[in-house]
Chain A
Amino acid sequence: MRLALDSDVFTDWRYQKPHTMRQIRDYRTRFGRFPRLTAMTVFEARFGFENKIAKSPSVDERLERDRLAMENLIRLSGVLEIEERTTAIAAYISARLSQSERNRLRADVFIAATSLAHGYGVATRNQRDFELIGHHLPPEITNLSLAIWKP
């Protein structure tokens, strides 16, 4: 199953966690390309830099250098966009979660919905939350495929 990376797994890769590096290397060899990122994962990763930059009084070259590397990595991986079908899936799932789950899983719902809309599974270490999302899929979607990439 083709996979998109959850934000936690993308962060693990950036932290050079050995188990994540191994999974990504294996995936690339098997599929001939790197796992994709969802637009929500990209938003979360970019937000981290923007949030830091917004609080900095002056241009920080270190941040800019690291941000540039991340942008190149995003371009290399490719981004699954949020399209109309994504919003329909996300709305269906969100409406069936409790208020607290909805608040807590807002981003994950969009990561899952985007992946589903494009025919991808999700590589995550957050099995419990994505399984919960997977229990509330629209009837035309039978399954959210998960790859659990944990140490």
Chain B
Amino acid sequence: MQTVTDTLQPEIMAGVLTGTVYSPLPDRVREHQAELVFPAFHYSLSAPVVEMFMVADSGQSTVKIALDEAVTMICELKGKRLNGREKMDVSVSFENAADRARASFVAATLQCLLWLAGPMKLRIPALELDLEVEFIAPLEEVNQTMHIRHVAYRLMVIERAFDRKLTRSLLFFDADVDRIAFVYHAIVDRSFVWPFFQAQFPFPANEQSLDILKDADRPSVRRLNVAHYEADVLGVSLALGRAIVTIENGVIVNLEEIGRELGTLDGHEFPALIKSLTGAATYEFPDAPRLSETKWDKRIEEFLALDRQLDEAIFQAANQLAAQSLADLNEEEKAEVTARPQFD
């Protein structure tokens, strides 16, 4: 079974904690700045309002805010004026004009901020709009969106290092996520340990290859040079250059065949099947493309700087559930509800 990492949730809802909206709003407004303030994260951002319209006498208005070149945040405001003040609900969705990693990263970051940073303020000073809003979502949706953000950033790194546009769709399977992580580590870490079970490596039938038969009958460290390593990411083959694969506790699976092939010493190529008894190998990619040292633009740098706060916020939310799952019980009851079932 493969697990799918879903696309972003289409819409998130919030109740307005405090705020006022002065009606009537202009039918269409351009070139005003919206300000999104997240006090708990000590972070705020400004972005242009690209469109705003209201349905006459309905109390419904829509504000579109351009967060990034391909990402628009759509705020639907629904409310009625009561005692001179607006009682409103706000829903937010994101329009993603390009199925690209950057757009997903930007939209997912904003969505996670709305969910994890506590009450936030939405201000459009030119329109005298000033709302304090708190968005709440099921934690599994937040977790999923954090994962999309994580994978989207890694894709951005890969796109930048290879100067290639990769993404058509951000619907990932676990296998895609693994391949993206592998190439990301090759670019950023250069040397890393990765699950390795069994793989074929090509060898020429010559005297140099006789080394492979050393200690062939027992597990040992197998260090293999791969001249050209290619990895597939979302259907695109990416050249990572030379690779050195070090397999601890490596054993040769097709020893008999290798002995036969090597015996010819005629230079022809044959496959050696090697497996790791520990299920891991160290990969080194000395020639893999590097991430340029130029910083990302301001928006992305700012969003990356939120990593620790977002990570900590979601961890704390989950950890609170873990703690709460035993919080009301005494020690004896805790032992009882956590005891493993006995069937005999």
Contact = CB atoms under 8 A, between A and B. Distances in A.
Interface of A: 1-2, 7, 11, 13-16, 21, 24-25, 28-29, 31-34, 44-45, 47-49, 51-52, 62-63, 65-67, 69-70, 72-73, 75-78, 81, 83, 103, 106-107, 117-119, 121, 141-145
Contacts of A13: 319, 322
Kindly state the interface size class of chain B when it binds its partner: 35 or more
A51 B334 contact: no
Interface centre among A66, A106, A121, A144 (most CB of B within 10 A): A66
Contacts of B263: none
Interface stretch (B12-20, B227-235, B276-284): B276-284
A70 B321 contact: yes
Interface SS of chain A? helix
B311 A29 contact: yes
A48 B344 contact: no
B326 interface: yes
Contacts of A14: 322-323, 325-326, 338
A71 B328 CA distance: 15
A72 B147 contact: no
A66 B321 contact: no
B195 A70 contact: no
Interface string B295-330: 000000000000000010011001101111111110
Given A33-B143, A81-B1, A106-B343, A1 B195 contact: yes
Contacts of A69: 321-322, 324-325, 327
A87 to B, nearest CB: 13
B171 to A, nearest CB: 16
A70 B319 contact: no
B321 A76 contact: yes
B221 interface: no
20 contacts: A24-B318, A28-B315, A28-B318, A33-B147, A44-B340, A48-B336, A52-B337, A63-B337, A65-B324, A66-B324, A66-B325, A66-B337, A69-B321, A70-B325, A117-B1, A121-B195, A142-B279, A143-B277, A143-B279, A145-B279
